[in-house]
Amino acid sequence: MAGRSLRAHLLRMLLPPIAAALALGALVSYFPTTEPATHAYDQALVDIGLALGSHVRVMQTEYRFELPAAVEQVLRTDRFDSIYYRVMSPAGMEIAGDPGLPAPPGDAVAHDAQYNGAKVRVVSVQSPCGRSTCTVLVGETMVKRERLARELLLQSIFPELFIAIATLLIVWFGVKRGLRPLARLSDEIKSRSAGDLRPIDAAGAPEETQPLVSALNGLLTEVSAASRNQQRFLADAAHQLRTPLAGLRAHAELALAQPLPEASRAQVEQVHQATIRTARLANQLLALARAEPGARSTTSLVDLKSLAEGEADAWVHQALARDADLGFELAHAPVDGDAFLLREALANLVHNALEYSPRGARITVRTGRRYDGSAAPDSARKGGSAFLEVEDDGPGIPAAERARVLERFYRVPGTPGTGSGLGLAIVREIAASHGATLAINEGMGARGCRVAITFPHG
């Protein structure tokens, strides 16, 4: 199941709120800084208004505004902005200036407005004239103010941007780092072999993953208990089958030891052979089930040489019965493995060689270690790839059939005898469960068959 990434999910949850909070922070810190600046510019306009107000003369009921041209020139000159003014009598009559400059509404002292097609800031100043007060409006275009606002915005945005990027990076790496224990956990599970049902080591895993680890361990315990039960069942089934088969075989052999009419003898011989095959099949099925991935096998250090030596006596007697020349070339070949399964693999290979070779065949069982070019064979007792192989000079297996003979119950068409077609499939399963490779080739002089199992470099 390809689930959503927890990391992406966490980032999706965290980043938008953090981005929104940062934007809000930028706004909140921007407005307080523009406020005093605006205020200072307004104050300058008020000063101009007061200066203009002092030039109003009261003559009886008439108001006269006398401003020398030079002063007006100075007043109206600004490096960036155009300045407007409008002087009104206490009754609201125009006295001088730019008529139409909009007055702030109501009691307001300053406002933003449109004038001459541009945005202007207008302040209203009450100036004494006679016993009453005149109103002086001073307006100014917004170039300076907007420039200041831009500068202030930029100045506040850089630190905010820095904080935003830093926060992003911290969240990105923090989430990655925070999820590291989960990654470690999955690595531990991934690196396990299929048959490894030991509980996961919960020590060092963070508290939040403990429920997951203990749930997994619970499952592993159940699976390994089920696997043990299956093993026990198989062992019991083998016992239950083998004892009656031993009885059957004993009586068949007893009958064959007595004088029998030719027809009956042939039939009893059939029963005898069927009994032997059935016993072998029971053994093979047991081995196949035990080599199954997940079946808990008992692993120990097994020397393939001693394994072969232990079985050699039985094989030699089987070979004598078939007139075969069974020989050995045994060198130490230590392997971490299941002794029962390895013995079964070797027994199947020897059995095949005996079964499918003509009388008088020469069969050789080899064990040892192969060294690739890099390590000299005598440089150390350890190392090298352990192998076992069985070679015969029988009919061999045609190259085209070599892959198929590894399938369960497959037999090369036209093969004599009564094999089940399980032998090599079992050998393949056993090799696979030990991480070993199985190779089928011709024997010496391109004759016969050589089957080799090579174990991983030790």
Partner 1 sequence: MRLLIVEDDAPLASGLQRILEAEGHAVDVTARGEEAVLAASQEKFDLVILDIGLPQMDGFEVLRRLRAGPGGGGPMPVLVLTARDAVDDRVRGLDLGADDYMVKPFAMPELTARVRALLRRSQAHGGPRIAHGPLQLDTVARRAFLRNEPLELAAREWAVLEVLLARVEKIVSKEAIIQAVAGWGDELSPNAIEVYVSRLRSKLEPAGIKIRTVRGFGYMLEEYK
Q: Tell me which residue has tokens 């077609």.
A: 421
Minimum Å gap between C-beta 391 and partner 1 is: 12
Which pairing describes strands 362-370 and 325-330: parallel, antiparallel, or unpaired?
A: parallel
Question: How many C-beta atoms lie closer than 10 Å to residue 263's C-beta?
Answer: 8
Is residue 172 within 8 Å of residue 11, measured between CB atoms?
yes
Is the Cβ of residue 275 or residue 352 nearer to partner 1 in the bound state? Answer: 275
The residue whose two tokens read 């270690």 is 369
Nearer to partner 1, 275 or 357 (CB): 275
- Least separation in angstroms between residue 406's CB and partner 1 is 24
The CB-of-276 to partner 1 minimum distance in angstroms stands at 8
Q: How far is the CB of 365 from partner 1 (least distance, A)?
A: 8
Q: Measured from the CB atom, is 155 or 243 closer to partner 1?
A: 243
Residue closer to partner 1, measured from CB, 220 or 281: 281
Rounded distance between C-alpha atoms, residue 458 and residue 217, angstroms:
31
Angle among Cα 298, 303, 307 to the nearest 5 degrees reads 85
Amino acid found at 152: L
Q: CB of 194: closest distance to partner 1 in angstroms?
A: 22
Name which of 63 and 315 has its Cβ closer to partner 1: 315
287 CB neighbour count, 10 Å cutoff? 25
Nearer residue to partner 1 within complex by CB, 89 or 283: 283
Which of 200/260 has CB closer to partner 1? 260
Task: Let me know: does 328 contact 365? Beta carbons within 8 Å.
Answer: yes
Closest approach, Cβ 12 to partner 1, in A, equals: 56
Residue 237, classed as helix, strand or coil, is: helix
When the beta carbons of 30 and 340 are compared against partner 1, the nearer one is 340
Q: Residue 277 CB, nearest distance to partner 1 (Å)?
A: 11
Measured from the CB atom, is 89 or 275 closer to partner 1?
275
Task: Give, in order, the Cα–Cα distances in Å from 148 to each of 32, 35, 88, 123, 366.
Answer: 13, 11, 31, 19, 93
Asked if residue 334 lies in contact with residue 302, where contact means CB atoms within 8 angstroms, the answer is: yes
Give DSSP secondary structure letters for 160-226: HHHHHHHHHHHHHHHHHHHTHHHHHHHHHHHTS-TT--PPP--TTS-GGGHHHHHHHHHHHHHHHHH
341-361 in b/e burial notation, b at 16+ Cβ within 10 A? bbbbbbbbbbbbbbbbbeeeb
Closest separation between CB of residue 399 and partner 1, Å?
Answer: 28
User: What gap in Å lies between CA 283 and CA 358, rounded to an integer?
Assistant: 25
Which stretches of the chain bind partner 1, using CB under 8 A?
235, 238-251, 253-254, 257, 275-276, 279, 309, 312-313, 316-317, 320, 325-330, 339-340, 364
Q: How far is the CB of 245 from partner 1 (least distance, A)?
A: 4
- In the bound state with partner 1, the residue whose beta carbon lies nearer, of 7 and 272, is 272
CA distances, 450 to each of 242, 296, 392, 418, 443 (Å): 32, 30, 6, 21, 5
Task: Please identify, using beta-carbon distances, which residue of 256 and 412 lies nearer to partner 1.
Answer: 256
295-313 burial, b if ≥16 CB within 10 A, otherwise e? bbbeeeebbbbebbeeebe
- Measured CA to CA in angstroms, residue 40 lies from 35, 43, 127, 293 at distances of 9, 5, 20, 84
Q: How far is the CB of 239 from partner 1 (least distance, A)?
A: 4
> C-beta of 372: minimal distance to partner 1 in Å?
25
